[in-house]
């Protein structure tokens, strides 16, 4: 099957929609601490869904993974663990830098490093940049970064305006603002979060073995996710386990909470919502691997499309949930400008990939 970059862009948009939507079920979980619902949903995100998806979508999964060199599996696993560290420190970035500067630095770095890193390490960047299709693709990547900055600035303005209207501290306490510490954490978060892209790139031998076993091109990336996400699960499990021990919150899994005794925890609903949110989270990379399979020799641009679509649909969800209600017209114009920029960037990248094929 010949690559179809426009179909690849569509798959990446579906992945971005899944990623932007996964927290909606989480917000409806009641009487569970963050570490409880995050780990419960994560069991579906990082363990159950990847293996179920790979067993269904690929052939001879166990033998394929057993045939791959152990160092390949280790690299993929460690990259997943590194990505987990980046995600866990993203909240600290927002705390010390605020929304606009924190998002711009962390997400901008993640996008650029996760996209440009693999071809740089492979030594193919120069050859790609020497072609007109490659130049168009790199232009699209640059436009994504501009879009991220615009959306981040709009988000920062929104939080300040809503805080002024409500009187609530909806922005990080300026007493906590610490530029040097925030920049260092943002650098760490941005670099480590990009490791997911390196893990997927390192999974080339797994994809080759999966294809040799008879799996179609759309599904060859699914076994790679099993290994990379296992690393992400390890990092998140350790952090959540420490919080559970610290906060003594393990009883919440069986309905024991610190709330009043007459309030009953909706356990079944909580488990179902956590399962739904966790599965939606996994689907972002389920569609990612499908989209990457259609991008041809510019598969590295998939990471840019992934980040752009997440920010795009997350912002649209914000409008649907009325998070932007009460903001100034200038702020809303700015965020729509950012959304438009991200849409244009995905079109540019799609055109560049089309020219390459």
Q: Tell me, what's the pLDDT at 2? A: 78
Residues 6 or more apart whose Cβ sits within 8 Å of residue 309: 12, 13, 15, 16, 17, 19, 20, 342, 346
Do 150 and 313 form a contact (C-beta atoms < 8 A)?
Answer: no
Residue where the block lists tokens 């909706």? 266
Residue 182: what pLDDT? 83
CB 58 within 8 A of CB 219: yes
Q: How many CA atoms lie within 13 A of 314 on its CB side?
A: 19
Report whether 303 contacts 345 (CB < 8 A): no
Residues of the chain with pLDDT under 50: 169-174
The gap from C-alpha 36 to its chain's centroid, in whole angstroms, comes to 20
- How many angstroms from the chain centroid is the CA of residue 309? 10
**What is the per-residue pLDDT across 104-121, written as a single tens digit (0 to 9) for each?**
888 888 999 998 888 888
Task: Note the pLDDT of residue 235.
Answer: 96
- Over residues 35-55, the pLDDT tens digits come to 999 999 999 999 999 999 999
Determine the Cα–Cα distance for residues 111 and 61; give it in Å rounded to an integer: 31
Task: State the pLDDT at residue 169.
Answer: 46
Going by C-alpha positions, the residue among 205, 210, 232 that lies closest to residue 72 is 205
Q: Choose among 154, 143, 141: nearest CA to 103.
A: 154
What distance lies between CA 20 and its chain's CA centroid? 9
Containing 205, the helix (H) or strand (E) segment is helix 204-212
């Amino acid at each position: 099957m010949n690559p179809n970059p426009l179909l690849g862009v569509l798959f990446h948009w579906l992945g971005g929609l899944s990623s932007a939507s996964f927290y909606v079920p989480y917000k409806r979980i009641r009487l569970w601490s963050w570490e409880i619902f995050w780990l419960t949903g994560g069991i579906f995100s990082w363990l159950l869904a990847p293996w179920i998806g790979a067993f269904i979508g690929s052939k001879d999964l166990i033998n394929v993974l057993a045939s791959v060199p152990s160092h390949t599996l280790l690299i993929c696993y460690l990259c997943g663990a590194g990505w987990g560290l980046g995600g866990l420190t993203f909240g600290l970035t927002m705390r010390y830098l605020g929304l606009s500067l924190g998002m711009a630095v962390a997400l901008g770095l993640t996008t650029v490093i996760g996209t440009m890193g693999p071809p740089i390490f492979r030594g193919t960047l120069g050859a790609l940049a020497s072609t007109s299709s490659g130049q168009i693709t790199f232009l699209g990547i640059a436009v994504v970064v501009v879009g991220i900055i615009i959306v981040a600035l709009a988000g920062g303005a929104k939080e300040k305006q809503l805080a002024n209207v409500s009187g609530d501290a909806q922005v990080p306490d300026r007493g906590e603002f610490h530029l040097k510490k925030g920049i260092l954490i943002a650098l760490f978060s941005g670099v480590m979060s990009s490791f997911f892209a390196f893990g997927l790139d390192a999974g080339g031998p797994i994809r080759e073995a999966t294809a040799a076993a008879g799996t179609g091109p759309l599904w060859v990336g699914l076994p790679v996710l099993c290994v990379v996400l296992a690393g992400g699960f390890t990092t998140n499990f350790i952090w959540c386990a420490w919080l559970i021990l610290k906060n003594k919150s393990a009883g919440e899994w069986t309905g024991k909470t610190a709330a009043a005794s007459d309030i009953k925890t909706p356990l079944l609903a909580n488990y179902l919502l956590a399962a739904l949110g966790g599965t939606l989270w996994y689907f972002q990379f389920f569609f990612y691997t499908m989209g990457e399979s259609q991008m041809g020799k510019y598969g590295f641009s998939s990471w840019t499309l992934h980040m752009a679509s997440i920010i795009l649909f997350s912002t649209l969800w914000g409008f649907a949930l009325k998070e932007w209600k009460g903001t100034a017209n200038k702020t809303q114009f700015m965020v729509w400008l950012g959304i438009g920029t991200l849409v244009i960037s995905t079109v540019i990248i799609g055109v560049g990939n089309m020219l390459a094929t």
